[in-house]
Amino acid sequence: MTLAHEVGHACKRQDIYVAGGGLSIVGEAVEHSKMPMDWANGYHPPGMTQDVVIKRLLMYGDPNVSNTRIPRGNIYGIGDTNYMFKTGMWNVGLEGISPPEDSK
C-alpha cells in the first residue's frame, strides 16, 4: 500500500488525518457535507464516525495502517498546509485527476 499511497501524492492527493496539531475529529458523526461525492457510494451504518471513514482511505496519513479505499471526491478531516494542521475538505480522491495533456 505504501507504493499506492505515494502514487497518490504524485497525483497531487494529500494526506488526511483524524488528529494533529491539537485538533481532533474523532467521534464526529458521518454527514453528507463531509463527503458529498461519496455519500451514496457506500453503506455508512448508524453511529459510524468520520474518523472510521478516514482510517479506511488510501491517503490516511498513518504509514502503519494499510488502507485501500479511494473516494471519488474531497473528504472532511484534518490535513496540513505548510506544516500547519487544520480541519477542512481535503483532496484525497479521484476528483481532479486527469491524464496528462497530449503534447503534440
Q: What is the pTM of this model?
A: 0.85
- On whether residue 101 sits in a domain, the answer given is no
What are the φ/ψ torsions at residue 95 (nearest 5 degrees)? -55, 130
- On whether residue 100 sits in a domain, the answer given is no
As a whole-number percent, the residues of the chain with pLDDT over 90 amount to 51
- On whether residue 97 sits in a domain, the answer given is no
Cell numbers 453503506 label which residue? 43
- On whether residue 99 sits in a domain, the answer given is no
What are the tens digits of pLDDT across the range 2-38? Answer: 888 899 999 989 999 999 999 999 999 998 899 998 8
- On whether residue 14 sits in a domain, the answer given is yes
Residue span of the structural domain in which 80 resides: 2-90
Q: How many structural domains comprise the chain?
A: 1
